[in-house]
Amino acid sequence: MKNTCKKKKSLLIFLVLLLVLTVGFGIWTLANPNFFSQPTNSSSKINTKRIDENGSAIDGGVKSKTQEEILKELQADQINVTDKLSSNIFFPSGKAGTEGNWTVENVETNTVAIQCEVYLGDKMIAKSVPIKPNQHIETIILSEDVDPGQYEVIAYVNYYSIDKGDYLAKAGFKITLTVQ
């Protein structure tokens, strides 16, 4: 019986000692987090970044353009337009589909087609038909309901290439909208 009691006591001491060692090791590991990480050796790092061989550069030095050449190129790309639009749109009713009075002309000297959009706040309320050079419109259709009153709106004139109809630029004008 002494032997069994002695074995139990030894086992209990062993388990307590094992528990103390485990807890101690855990605390020490938390206090030294970098102990198990591998040391960095700067000479053993492998550089994996490589030059991208796609594309090609032009051989030789840059050939500078004269100021006149640069100005000539810029003028060739420039769009010169004359905008003619009335400063007031009048609708006899605020119901969508109502035809209103508004004159917009794309003068003969313009080299672009135009199409106008009228915005009340951030909402487009009317859009014109395309207008080519030497054409004009006298009416526009209301696409949204608008309460009677007088409003300041923005009329955007969008410019498009005549041959392909590609969008080129736009200009905005503050005008007055009157709805009866």
**d(C-alpha 157, C-alpha 172), whole Å:** 6
pLDDT higher at 167 or 48:
167
For 79, list phi and psi in degrees, rounded to 5.
Answer: -105, 120
pLDDT higher at 118 or 36:
118
Q: What is the mean pLDDT of residues 128-146?
A: 96
**What is the pLDDT, as a whole number, of residue 82?**
83
Give the distance from CA 39 to its chain's centroid: 45
81-91 tens-digit pLDDT:
788 999 999 99
DSSP secondary structure string, 90-148? EES--STT-EEEEEEEE-TT--EEEEEEEEETTEEEEEPPPB-TTEEEEEEEB-S---S
Lowest mean pLDDT among 35-44, 98-107, 127-136: 35-44
**What is the pLDDT, as a whole number, of residue 13?**
86
**What is the pLDDT, as a whole number, of residue 128?**
96
**What is the pLDDT, as a whole number, of residue 59?**
75
- The answer to whether the CB of 134 falls within 8 A of the CB of 109 is no
7-19 tens-digit pLDDT:
778 888 888 888 8
Lowest mean pLDDT among 27-31, 59-63, 116-120: 59-63
pLDDT at 75 over 70: no
For 80-87, which contacts have Cβ atoms below 8 Å and span 24 or more sequence positions? 80/111, 81/110, 81/111, 81/112, 81/114, 81/159, 82/107, 82/109, 82/110, 83/114, 83/157, 83/171, 83/173, 84/136, 85/116, 85/155, 85/157, 85/173, 85/175, 86/175, 87/173, 87/175, 87/176
**What is the pLDDT, as a whole number, of residue 105?**
95
Q: Helix-strand-coil percent breakdown of the chain, rounded to 5?
A: 25, 35, 40
**What is the pLDDT, as a whole number, of residue 147?**
98
Q: Which two tokens stand for residue 88?
A: 């007031």
What topology is assigned to 81-179 in CATH? Answer: Immunoglobulin-like (2.60.40)
- The mean pLDDT of the chain is 85
**What is the pLDDT, as a whole number, of residue 20?**
84
**What is the pLDDT, as a whole number, of residue 56?**
67
